[in-house]
Every structure is written in structure tokens, then in C-alpha cells.
Structure 1
Amino acid sequence: MFVLGPSLLSLALDSSLSLCAPPRELYSPLLTEKILQTALASRATQYPQYTDRVAGDWLYFAPDTWTSGFFPATLYAMYTRARLCNWDTENATQWLTLGRQWSTAEVPLESNNSVGHDVGFLSYPFVEELVINPHNETAISAVNRFASDLAARFSSVVGCTRSWDTPNPIDFQVIIDNMMNLEVLFVSAGLTGNNTLREIAISHANKTMRNHIRPDGASVYRPFQQKTWIESDVIAKFTAQGYANWSTWSRGQAWGIYGFSNMYKHTGHLDYLTTARRMAAYFLTHLPTDGIVPWDFNAPLDPPRPADSSAAMIAVNGLMLLSQQERSLSPANDTGASYYQNAAMQLLRDNTQLAWRPEWQSLLANGTVDNPQGNNLTGIVYGDYFFVKAGNDLLSMGVASC
């Protein structure tokens, strides 16, 4: 049984972390209005990824982009919201119809895409469709083909799926984001009975656990390069979006919390739960006093480091998933579950208060796409998706109401 250490236990029992109400913006009519306006104003042939920094208007990209699954997945999440909140049937049907329409331009990517490992993110709306209609052949085909695409990137020598193709065939890069893409392997394995997909996910998670996570629980962004096709050594560990190779990029840390919590959910392997706890501990104990998630936990304070609301929302979802896994233990770890749930709620409130921008097309502002490239202080489509998903999960958990 996992027992919280003294510092985390004191946080769990601290009245300041008692379960607070979710931010009212999470269930605001304006949230619904904004998403609907975007869905109806565009033709679903290009996808919003992030906004400009002034007016907050969406910038659109071709379907062959790693983020293109998030907006249609948000529309499916709104269908779920309609069901959870007992909205009328016509309203719910509208969201489902829009989700299906917005997924259509993704279908050709099943056989031809350039996103590498991120096919898992492309699969999100099709996975959501299967929850609604497990017999939908379009969704079944999409999930299975995206899973096959990801599995084809697996090297038994390295034990991981390759992130991107590189000019040097023995240069094998693996990033922490890959942990989020493993879900499609489990879903496809459930559809097909192909246990190899499950084994690939486990191998990748085991190698990531061994090579991406520092002793203090912080994540490394890109750790591997493969030396030969018959043996593999880690010869470089470095960042692309963080402040420095030794620092901790907050979105990568959030991917890890969620990814390892999800691996425990699928396998019951306690090492994954332990890793998720370690990564969550680092994230929560390195937050500034105002609770706002910075782009990088170790970036200098002068000049002021930008926030990343998308990292915050991913971490909120990861912490809630971790809380659920603590309650699934036998006996349940109620102390740990309450701690992670309370921390998620506080993180959600603090970062929504900063990032909610009524006049923008996105739900949230203050996101950082890629700070080294100067792409910060924007709305981000995956930040919005995880914001809506957090609201749905709280409703499903019975700790919020519409």
C-alpha cells in the first residue's frame, strides 16, 4: 500500500486543499457557444491548433498535423456533456453530428500521414465514436490502422516506438509525449485480440520509465539514439521545447503523469502507478505559490517565464486519473486519492482564473506551444480539449454538477 510521505500527507490534510468547487467557467454557456461557433463557422477541412496572441482568433492547419484530432474530440466531449447534463436529444445529436463531420478529413491520414508517433492523438475522435457506437466500421478501421501505423514504428532492439523519422536510420529519438499515444494500441488490441499491440505499449512504457524519468521524478524530453540495429544505448538526453537539457518542461511532465496513470489502469503493474506518483509529486511541489503552471519549472524568473495553461489542463486530467487509480486499489488508498483529486481541483481553479478569456475564440489563453520558438501566450486546441474533458470527468465522478 502506498503511503504519502510527510510533506504530501500534510498537503492532503491541509484545509486549504479541501475539495473546492470547480470553476464556474467550466460549465458556462459561453463555453458551449464558443465551441459551437468554431464548429459551424469552419468547413472541417482544416483544423484549429492555436490562436494569435492579440485577438485570440484560431489559426488553422492542414489535417496532416499532430493536433488535428483534438477539435473533433472536443465536439465528441460536448456530446458527452450533453448526455451527462441531460440536454435535449436534438442538442446532443447536433454535437455528435459535428464530431463525425469534423473527423472526416482525418480518414485519409490512416494510410498517409507525416505525424510519426502522434497517430495516437489523431485517433482520439474515433476512440470516442466507439464508446458511443462500438460497431461503427469507420471508427474501427481508423483505430486499427492508426494502431498498426504506430506499431510499425516499434523497434524490438530499442524497445520503443520511434517518435519521428530522421535522415540517419540509426538515429532513434523517443519523447515523453509518446506515452499519450499508447492508448490507441490498447484500444486496437481490445478490438482485434492482437496482444502484440499491448506488448509493444508495455515495452515502450518500461523503457520510458527507465530512461526518461530522473531520480527526482522529473522528465527528460528526448533520451534515445540507437547505435546499431543489434544493440541500443542511450547516447543523448536533451530537450527541444524546455529551457535546458537539465530542466523540466511542464507539458512533458504532465504527459507523463497521465501516461503512466493510464498504463497502470490498463495493466495493473504497480511500477507504473509509482512512476505516476513520482511525476505528480514533482509537478505539484514545484508549482509557484500562485499555482500557475509555468512553461518550464526551471526557467529563470527574469524575464518572466510564460505560463502554459495546456500543461495545467493535461496535468489536471492526469491527477484525476491517478486519483481514480488510487481508489481502485484493494484496499483503496483513500488518502492518496483525495490528495490528487484536491490538487487537481485547485490546479484547475488557479489556472482557469488566469487563462479564461471571454472575448477569444479559444476557451483558454496563456498557453505555450513552443517557447524557444516564441510561440506562447496563445489559446491551444489541446488545452481546450483537456479543459472540457476535465469538466466531464468531474461530472462522472459526482463531484460537480451542470
Structure 2
Amino acid sequence: MIGLGLQAISCSSQKNLTTAKLGLNKEFVKTNLEDAHKQINYLASSIQESDIPTTFKDGKYVNWGSSWWCSGFYPGTVLYLYEYTKDEKLLNEAKRKLKHLEKEKNNKGTHDLGFMLYCSFGNALRLTGDSTAYKGVLSTGAASLATRFHEAPKTIRSWDGGKNWDGQPWTYPVIIDNMMNLEFLTEVSKMTGDKRFRDIAIRHANTTMVNHYRKDYSSYHVVDYNPDNGSIISRKTAQGAFDESAWARGQAWGLYGYTMMYRETGEKKYLEQARNIAKFYLNHPNLPKDLIPYWDMDQNKLTKESKYYNQKDLRDVSTAAVTASALLELAQYTKGSESQLYISKAEQMLKSLSSKPYKADYKEAGGYILKHSVGSIPHKTEVDVPLTYADYYYVEALIRYDRMLNGEKVIKQ
């Protein structure tokens, strides 16, 4: 996500800035970040101080509150735009939201504290250097997240309660999304000197690599474990088209997560995992020409009998935004034509995202930047709407690309 810059990065390849050709220019980045700035200012002016935006549907704002897994993305987006524009109003807006979000540092009932706290307070610490205000929140939050790790499954538990689509209660479910919360642990480990956080992240990543991935490097969404001995009870989906499908955003979470784990550890196995995930994703025969994927990469296999058939062709902009950001980082850890491929594909994704029908006009979509994301079709929530995390990773990708144009590292230290 960000990198706090509290210790020299462990991956030596980070210093190997890519020599690949960049196909977008400063004007492209400037135009789209300035448009995002205007949109976010409009969104900020349209909500209450205590509101933490999630989406905009049927002309109304939907704000799910600080305990929702998306609560860190809006302040994180605001902070990225502050980094680019130096607009103090944005910093103040982020701080207003952080006041309402801080209590989640004590939330031990979610695996998503990385999304919630690291995208928000992590960016705030990086940009302001105010360790007094933010270090304690981050360290307490990491300790809360660590309570969800258990020895037998060697993973961080995702959900408490609930049932799978067969009506069976989950036992110890772990979702691929959880790879995105590991950076929080590795960075706080460096910040505090507590090696336990880093160890948990590594063990979770290793277990997920073995148990979540098929031979073609597509990922299952959910692996349900026996918490007593770590054996696998089942491999399922919760948000995909069917259990054996490749739910699109899950593939992006894994790509981003293993690229990040290589940066944090220097372990080549994580780099190889990320490269293989990228190969699966970019070569998928069902990936549209504009590189904005369908919500499930195997949606074409749905029959008319499926309850999702009428929605099978919906795109998920959030997946493309996450993937573009991840590919820009992966390009810096690879060489030659491979690095160029990742950059070129990320550029194509950014060009698509920055055009109609995906990019919103000023004041359209309530002030969200991008349209046409899919939260969860099976849950009938956030279907074909703007989403706060799509905006976050889109802005992050543009910021990363701007750093590349400046000859800087993708990850700001």
C-alpha cells in the first residue's frame, strides 16, 4: 500500500529502478489527479463530518461506518491527493476522518485492520512524520490484528460466524483478501522492533501460497481450516461465481500481496508467486481488450440456470485499479521485456480507467472518482456502483506512476 519509510527496505531490487519505456506523460497524470482532487473536494463538501464514505447508489450516499472494512480508504485517498497537490484542506479533511476511525485500533473482530488503519494512519504518518499522533494507533492496531493468528492453521482468521453457500457454518475461514493486511504487520514490526508481527505475516503468506492457489496460479476465495490441526475442511467462494472460479478481485489481492511480501522480505519465492499470478491474469482468455475485467474471470462459464447469469458481464473497476498499482511495483523487481510488459499493461488499465464509461464527470457519482465497480454479486451488495477502494488504488497507481516519471522508486520511503 504505502511503506512508512521507518527502516531501509529489505528488498535490494527496490533500488533497481526500471529502465523500461514509459508510455504516459506528466500531463496525463496531472489531469487525472487534478480531476480526482476536484471530485474528492465535492464529495467532502457533500457529507457529514462523521461520515466515512463507502459508495453512492440511487442518488444517495452510503456510509457504512468506521468498523466496515472500507473505512480507511477515503482518508487514504485524501492523503494521497494531499501528497500530490499540497492542498492543506485535504490534510485537514483526512484528520477529521481519522478522529472517527481511531477507535478501530482496538477492534479484534476483523482481519481488515490493514485496510482500515494502514491505508489511513499509515499514510498520515508517512506524510506528516507525526509519530506522537499516529504511531500508537498503528502499533495498537497491529497487536489487535495479531490476536486473530492461530498456530495450527498458521493463518489469520478472516471471519467470525456466518455460513457458506451450502448453508454450512464456517469453521476457520481465511480469504485471499487477507494478503492485503500483511503489509500493516511488516511495517509496524519495523516501526516497533516487534518481530512477532513480521513472523505472523510471513507464516500467513506461506500457508496461503500453498493452500489457496491452483496449479494455474488462480486463487480460491476462501479456504476453511480446522483450527485444531490446520487441516483443510473446504475450498469455497463467497463473492465469486462458483467455488472453482477465479473471482477477479481475489486475483488482484494476491498479485498485490505477494509483490509486497517480496519487497518486505526479499524472499524470491514471493516474487515468483507474483510473476505467476500476473501471468495467469494477463493471459486469461476472458480478459477484455480494455483490461477492465469482469467481476469473475470465469463468468463466461455461467449457464442461464445460474442466479448470477443476468449480471455475468458486469465489469469490476476496483480489480483493475488494484492490479494496475500492483503491476507498477512488480515492474521494478523484474527486467527487460517482462518489466516492460507490466508497465504497458498498467498503462493500458490506467488509460481505460481514466476514460468513459469508467471515470466519473465532475460532481457525477456523488463525487466518487470511478464508476462501475462490483462489491459482491452473491451478497447483492454494491453492484455496479462507485466504490471507495477503487478510488484509493486508482489514485495510488497514478501517484506511483508519477514517481516513475520522476525517476523515483514506486514505493515512497
Counterpart of 2:319 (choices 284, 288, 311) is 311
1:280 positional shift = 0.9
Counterpart of 2:233 (choices 235, 255, 260) is 235
Structure 1 segment 2-401 matched on structure 2, within 5 A: 19-20=23-24, 27=32, 29-52=34-57, 54-55=58-59, 57-83=60-86, 91=87, 93-112=88-107, 114=109, 116-123=110-117, 124-166=119-161, 171-226=171-226, 228-229=227-228, 231-286=229-284, 287-300=287-300, 303=310, 304-326=312-334, 333-353=335-355, 354-358=357-361, 359-361=364-366, 362-374=368-380, 375-398=382-405
Equivalent pair of 1:119/1:150 in contact (CA under 8 Å): yes
For residues 147-191 of structure 1, what are the alpha-carbon distances to aligned partners after superposition, in whole Å with 9 as ceiling and x for unaligned?
A: 101111101111111102238999211000000001111121111
1:289 positional shift = 2.9
Partner Cα distance (2:29, 2:187) in 1: 33
Partner Cα distance (1:360, 1:397) in 2: 30
Partner AA of 1:156 in structure 2: E
In structure 2, relative to structure 1, the CA distance for the partners of 1:35 and 1:144 (3 Å cut) is same
Equivalent pair of 1:257/1:276 in contact (CA under 8 Å): yes
1:70 positional shift = 0.4
Partner AA of 2:149 in structure 1: F
Partner AA of 1:50 in structure 2: T
Larger strand share, 1 or 2? 2
Equivalent pair of 1:20/1:346 in contact (CA under 8 Å): no
Which is further off, 305-314 or 35-44?
Answer: 35-44
In structure 2, the residue corresponding to 1:372 is in which secondary structure? coil
1:79 positional shift = 1.1
Partner AA of 2:344 in structure 1: N
1:267 positional shift = 0.4
In structure 2, relative to structure 1, the CA distance for the partners of 1:249 and 1:399 (3 Å cut) is farther
1:113 positional shift = 6.0
Partner AA of 2:403 in structure 1: S
For residues 35-58 of structure 1, what are the alpha-carbon distances to aligned partners after superposition, in whole Å with 9 as ceiling and x for unaligned?
A: 012223323312111221x44x43
Which is further off, 235-244 or 289-298?
Answer: 289-298
Partner AA of 2:135 in structure 1: I
Equivalent pair of 1:147/1:185 in contact (CA under 8 Å): yes
Partner Cα distance (2:202, 2:156) in 1: 11
Q: What's the % identity of the aligned pairs?
A: 29
Partner Cα distance (1:81, 1:207) in 2: 38
For residues 113-139 of structure 1, what are the alpha-carbon distances to aligned partners after superposition, in whole Å with 9 as ceiling and x for unaligned?
A: 64x100111112111122123342231
In structure 2, the residue corresponding to 1:236 is in which secondary structure? strand
Partner Cα distance (2:127, 2:28) in 1: 28
1:232 positional shift = 1.3
Partner AA of 2:340 in structure 1: S
So what's the TM-score if we normalise by structure 2? Answer: 0.83
Which is further off, 40-49 or 94-103?
Answer: 40-49
Partner AA of 1:280 in structure 2: A
Partner Cα distance (1:345, 1:69) in 2: 26
In structure 1, the residue corresponding to 2:53 is in which secondary structure? strand
Equivalent pair of 1:64/1:109 in contact (CA under 8 Å): yes
In structure 1, the residue corresponding to 2:63 is in which secondary structure? strand
So what's the TM-score if we normalise by structure 1? Answer: 0.85
**Root-mean-square deviation (CA), in Å?**
2.3
Partner AA of 2:322 in structure 1: I
Partner AA of 1:254 in structure 2: A
1:367 positional shift = 0.4
Equivalent pair of 1:25/1:31 in contact (CA under 8 Å): no
1:18 positional shift = 7.8
Question: What runs of 5+ residues in structure 2 fail to find an aligned partner?
Answer: 1-19, 164-168, 303-308, 408-413
Equivalent pair of 2:107/2:141 in contact (CA under 8 Å): no
In structure 1, the residue corresponding to 2:55 is in which secondary structure? strand
In structure 1, the residue corresponding to 2:96 is in which secondary structure? helix
Equivalent pair of 1:127/1:143 in contact (CA under 8 Å): yes
Partner Cα distance (2:400, 2:333) in 1: 14
Partner AA of 2:67 in structure 1: D
Equivalent pair of 1:120/1:181 in contact (CA under 8 Å): yes
Displaced runs of 4+ in structure 1, greater than 3 A? 20-26, 167-170, 301-304
Partner AA of 1:349 in structure 2: K
Which is further off, 370-379 or 19-28?
Answer: 19-28
In structure 2, the residue corresponding to 1:262 is in which secondary structure? helix
Partner AA of 2:260 in structure 1: N
In structure 2, relative to structure 1, the CA distance for the partners of 1:352 and 1:167 (3 Å cut) is closer
Partner Cα distance (1:28, 1:141) in 2: 31
Partner Cα distance (1:294, 1:176) in 2: 18
For residues 217-273 of structure 1, what are the alpha-carbon distances to aligned partners after superposition, in whole Å with 9 as ceiling and x for unaligned?
A: 1011011321x52x2111200000000001001111001110000000000111111
